[in-house]
Amino acid sequence: MSEYKKILSLLLLACLTSAASDVTGSLDGSSNSKNVAKRDVGDDIAGALSDAANVATEIASGARSVGTKIASGAVSVGTKVASDARSVGTKVASDARSVGTKITSGAVSVGTKVASNARSVGTKIASDAESVGTKVASDAKSEGSKVASDAKSEVSKHFKDSPSSTIVTTDAKGHSTTQYLWYVKSTNADGSTVTGTTTKDPTATNTESHSSSATSSHHSSSKNAAIRLGGQEQNYYYYPVVGLAALLLL
């Protein structure tokens, strides 16, 4: 406002100087001229004052306009700042919610994946355990079958070449005689063994009871075994060297 006051003072000074000049120039004229000069001076002063007032009004109006503009700008800027602040706040809140949702979703996804993997691992462990159990059971059955098969094979191995368990002979008069076959195993003192079959009871006192297929040196025998193939199978141990029959039913 100090600038506006300086301008107004200068304008007023210019008007007064002009009026004074007119008054000085008309002092040498008639009285009518003096009256006219007075009126002219008064008009000039009034005009100058009116111009000064107009200038002041315009200056004041400009000042008000500038102030209004500045105030309006300030309001606009304030509104924009507030709006931006709200927008930024909304965006931050939205981002925070989005991030929270994403983190929660990721956590749920990770949790689901971990649970799924745990179930998968549990299923695999259970499946492996079942598979191992089945394999153990299968191996046990297989081993049992193998043992049973080996036992049968061992029995068959001893008797597969044996002749019929009984021999029936008929004499000239038509009388038939049934003889049992004996499976004999003799163990010699040197550890060698002789096996064979005979129709004579190896447990009797007759030391010549063995057939040619089961010949052994009885004087060197330490212990012999015999199985009667006919009828109920029985195991016997005998000592032909002593000549005493020791019958042991096993």
Among 36-50, 116-130, 142-156, 213-227, which stretch is predicted with the lowest mean pLDDT? 213-227
What is the domain partition of the chain in residue ranges? 2-84, 166-238
Q: pLDDT per residue over 149-165, tens digit each? A: 555 555 455 544 444 56
Identify the burial level of 245 via C-beta atoms within 10 angstroms of its C-beta, where 0-12 means exposed, 13-18 middle and 19 or more buried: middle
Structure tokens that stand for 203 in this block: 């447990």
Instruction: Tell which residue, 167, 223, 237, 173, has the closest CA to residue 200.
Output: 167
Q: pLDDT per residue over 27-74, tens digit each? A: 444 455 555 555 565 666 666 667 666 766 777 776 677 677 777 777
pTM reported for the whole predicted model? 0.22
Instruction: Tell me the one-letter amino acid at 7.
Output: I
